[in-house]
Structure 1
């Protein structure tokens, strides 16, 4: 699985870039090896641990006329100096690719390997190290074609995406003894397809119109979970001035999520496999977790005063209640962009992760040090066309339940002379859907939520040296009975200097998280490393 992610992602970028080498642009492939020495200090207990690391990685970037993409992958082996820090194999990586294969035909693909928080009630370490509690390793990949053409005045578009997500069992969650356990996410395979027909205002009638249909299915390994939906929708767009248009849409959709029951070794005691996941009772009936079947509608306004700015807002009735969505983008200059998004959808962890990856830019800032190169928060763009995106709403916790996800994200990035900086802030709310008739599964119809913020700064000091810093804060509210909110915050800084093919770095970080009824847990980290690039 890991080799497929790494070699497959690198192969897609390298092969596509080589095949299109005649296109004007730039292709860079930089493999490297790195050695490092790290120190972890538990400031509450005056305990200091150390470990050494040996890493190998590759950075690939393509900016040709037909292929835009980037891959940054790092495998790290950690060697403990103390029994409290285990020998670990760590994988971090992010890949995004957009390729124009033929006239009208494009390919989108991407993947991620990271470690992130598992249980929203548990420990919330700031930067994931070797022995942190409540951490799972995650892998996800997606890809598929899209096609766009015209039949007279009618714009025709079709797309298909397929993806796979795998989550390893988390480490000790740090919850008090006796806390009810949640079932562990295993894997999922999802598919999304859509077709649309549309005409612009003035081409056929004074108003524009679009007819679209879509299908979405995901099959999960834990308790044979299933998500399936399809929809058909019509939209109209009516300009009222050169910069403003009114829009309205009416659609019909059907969504159903379901799962089976676990086996029981005795009444009230579900059977577990060797990984601690529930064993599925294949003979049990499929139980519905969530279902909606009916008409939904919305109306809104679109404002585009110039090529650099756009905004739209929609309000309507969907999922049985009022629904609000919107999008704002502003490109202040070639190197400075702001974007904000309000969303409302019924989804799953696997779907939301793959959708979040698909919205990330094909050119992103790849952090130099191991402290911040984890890709489980905000990812900032290297160009001014898009600021980047945040995955915090996905990674607030990992759940096997389907849920209604609502929230707001805002991201900005800018480059001014030697300085590059960016930030992300957001709010995420999830209402979990799980059959209350399935004994042993302690997922309930609750709402959990989180608030998050992150700032990034980098300054090029000389032609061979630079310094960067990151600060972040997260708040998690589980929503479960007898579970209070959890805070996580911290800051990191790093200095790097290049000597030919060798790059040295020195990094430091200070972090804290607050669990209910537990003193604030403070920790500090430091690392020195040397990298040789081939």
Structure 2
């Protein structure tokens, strides 16, 4: 029962804490601080549809930090980049990108403060399709910002374990231009949102009081979107039981009550009754209009499944049931055969807006990671690597403003063999949008956007002072709202760096990127090369 009991404890805590962080058992505080500056010369040649060649200078400054102590830990990767072009059609951009995740134990083993943040550059196509890997020479880019903070707590009262969390988050998307679909209709894209969530659970393990495990939990989630004053609210209370079948297998099940509401106001209308867009490309909310329900479900929720842990290296939880007034599936599988290898799969289902997906992805990351960046642009493509495995920021997919039900599956794999280090993320994401009748978004109610994606990295140390690294990605976006709105994007890059003096290294990189946009009926392809120097302080 040893492995199963450990897993049951984790399950009770997971009902209340999305990302528990275990403090180190001992040892001194480990701090890695790596500030740097870079200067590079970049040549980018357009292969399709034209043949323009751009040359520009890239200046960058950043810091990669990892802090791991007995009662705190954090990883931060932040970079500022300035591209200076030449000529009338030159590249001239300023970009800040980064990702951070950390925790601080206020009361060791009992109360922990969690926080995370993201700043990322992205490219928006027609119908709101988003790629996290914009062309290095593309001025038409947008910025995504996300962050959250909140406490986790855990304690015991006799045979009962009590755990919970609370957090608040903020998310923003800054677009340079309005977005139009192939029919010439303007698409309302996400602006900003505030999220709130909280959970608490009380439970016992089998044999503490009863031969089965019992837990009671309650929680809620709310996202307030600025677009048409949308509100996503989901509250629930439930009870769960865990019935051991063998030392490594248990049957789990739960039943409870949920109340889910999605509502919004309408847009300001002109004299002809058409919705009005503002200068920022978003619909102008009519704050005097009534709040209209788009989704309203309250009643029974339930699920059943299995919990299997044959060893400390392998864990599976899979459930099927009813939620949101329909069938739901979710679960996780992890396999960690050694400290150098890991594999994980997650199946998910939930309702939120665009910001809720970002906040949840950040909260699931480890606090000790290395961010994988494009070696030419410095962009963060959503992949991080840590001893806990590969972390993925949920694929951006669609930037539409409406709330949605998101379902999908994500898998990750990492392997270290000597000096070789590899990481891979792959998955599928489907968003079914929900909008109220009589509002400006009513036309996309029930519309489905789907994303398929794969991203990976490979690096190897060469000798004592060289590093060879490669990155690749492929994304496929399909929308039911525009027959010409699909997008395919893929690319690959390779970089080599070598120390030439104390703290000074030379860098060389090449990349090819390709976008097949049915919206423009044109293919965009570029080849880019970089030569530069980096100084690590």
TM-score (norm. length: structure 1): 0.90
Report if aligned partners of 2:122, 2:131 keep a CA contact under 8 Å in 1.
no
Structure 1 match to 2:39: 35
Partner of 2:509: 507
Q: Supply the distance in 1 between the matched residues of 2:114 and 2:200 (Cα, whole angstroms).
A: 16
Cα distance, 1:119 vs structure 2 = 4.8
> 1:89-128 counterparts in 2 under 5 A?
89-103=94-108, 104-119=110-125, 121=127, 127-128=133-134
Give the structure 2 partner of residue 237 of structure 1: 242
2:448 maps to what in 1?
447
- State how many pairs are aligned: 509
Residue 198 of structure 1 is matched in structure 2 by 203
Distance change (3 Å), C-alpha of 1:230 and 1:440: closer
Q: 1:124 to 1:277 in 2, by over 3 A?
A: closer
1:403 Cα deviation (Å)?
Answer: 0.7
Partner secondary structure for residue 359 of structure 2: helix
**Is structure 2 residue 353 aligned with structure 1 residue 351?**
no
Shift of 1:424: 0.9
Q: How does 1:433-444 map to 2 (within 5 A)?
A: 433-439=434-440, 443-444=444-445
Partner Cα separation in structure 2 for residue 134 and residue 451 of structure 1: 23
SS in 2 for 1:149: strand
Q: Measure, in 1, the Cα distance between the counterparts of 2:351 and 2:73.
A: 31
Moved more, 410-419 or 369-378: 369-378
CA 1:124–1:290: 2 relative to 1, 3 Å: closer
List gaps (5 residues or longer) in structure 2: 1-23
Aligned to 2:521: 518
Partner of 1:158: 164
Match of 1:15 in 2: none
Aligned to 1:9: none
- CA–CA distance in structure 1, aligned partners of residues 384 and 377 of structure 2: 11
- Deviation for aligned residue 1:65: 1.7
- Give me the whole-angstrom Cα distance separating, in 1, the residues matched to 2:129 and 2:223: 29
Alignment check: 8 A CA contact 1:49 1:82 kept: no
For the residues of structure 2 that align with 1:172 and 1:226, how far apart are their CA atoms? 24
What does residue 74 of structure 1 align with?
Answer: 79
Q: Shift of residue 455 of structure 1?
A: 2.1
SS of 1:355 mapped into structure 2? helix
In 2, are the aligned partners of 1:215 and 1:230 still within 8 Å (CA)?
A: yes
SS of residue matched to 1:132: coil
- CA change 1:224–1:364 in 2 (3 A) is same
| CA distance in 2 between partners of 1:302 and 1:440 (Å) | 41
**Secondary structure of the equivalent of 2:360?**
helix
Alpha carbons of 1:268 and 1:180: their partners in 2 closer, same or farther (altered >3 Å)? same
Q: Which residue of 1 aligns with 2:143?
A: 137
Cα shift at 1:443: 3.3
- Counterparts in 2 of 1:77-88, with a 5 A limit? 77-88=82-93
- Give yes or no for the alignment of 1:306 onto 2:311: yes
Verify the 8 A CA contact 1:133 1:172 in the aligned structure 2. Answer: no
C-alpha displacement of 1:370:
4.4
Counterpart for residue 376 of structure 1:
381
Aligned partners of 2:528 and 2:239: how far apart in 1?
54
Once the two structures are TM-superposed, the CA of residue 476 in structure 1 deviates from its matched residue by 0.7
Matched, 1:181 2:186: yes
**Distance of aligned partners of 1:47 and 1:249 in 2 relative to their CA distance in 1, 3 Å threshold:** same
1:408 corresponds to 2:409? yes
**Offset at residue 481 of structure 1 (A):** 4.0
1:158 Cα deviation after fit: 1.9
Matched, 1:211 2:213: no
For the 8 Å contact 1:182–1:441, the answer to whether it is kept is no
Work out the CA distance in 1 between the residues paired with 2:217 and 2:455. Answer: 37
* Distance of 1:309 and 1:464 partners within structure 2: 37
Tell me the CA shift for residue 308 of structure 1.
0.5
- Aligned mates of 1:302, 1:501 — CA distance in 2: 50
Match of 2:329 among 318, 324, 337: 324
2:532 alignment partner, SS class: strand
TM-score with structure 2 length normalisation?
0.90
Closer/same/farther in 2, CA of residues 432 and 79 from structure 1, 3 Å limit:
same
CA gap of 1:97–1:125, structure 2 versus 1, over 3 A, is closer
Q: Kindly provide the CA deviation profile for residues 43-70 of structure 1, in whole angstroms up to 9, marking residues without a partner as x.
A: 0212111221222212211121222211
Instruction: Give distance in 1, aligned partners of 2:221 and 2:131.
Output: 34
Counterpart secondary structure, 1:46: coil
SS in 2 for 1:352: helix
Q: Please name the residue that 1:58 is paired with.
A: 63
* Structure 1 pair 123–525 and aligned structure 2 pair: CA distance change class (3 A): farther
What's the secondary structure of 2:120's corresponding residue? strand
CA distance in 2, matches of 1:123, 1:480: 11
**Contact 1:455–1:472 (CA<8 Å) still a contact in 2?**
yes
| Greater mean alpha carbon deviation, residues 76-85 or residues 154-163 | 76-85
Q: Provide the C-alpha distance between the structure 1 equivalents of 2:416 and 2:273, rounded to a whole number of angstroms.
A: 58
Partner of 1:221: 226
Helix, strand or coil for the counterpart of 2:29? coil
Are 1:530 and 2:536 counterparts?
A: no
Contact 1:126–1:513 (CA under 8 A) maintained in structure 2: no
Query: Which residue number in structure 2 is paired with residue 399 of structure 1?
Result: 400
Q: Point out where structure 1 has 5 or more consecutive residues left out of the alignment.
A: 1-19
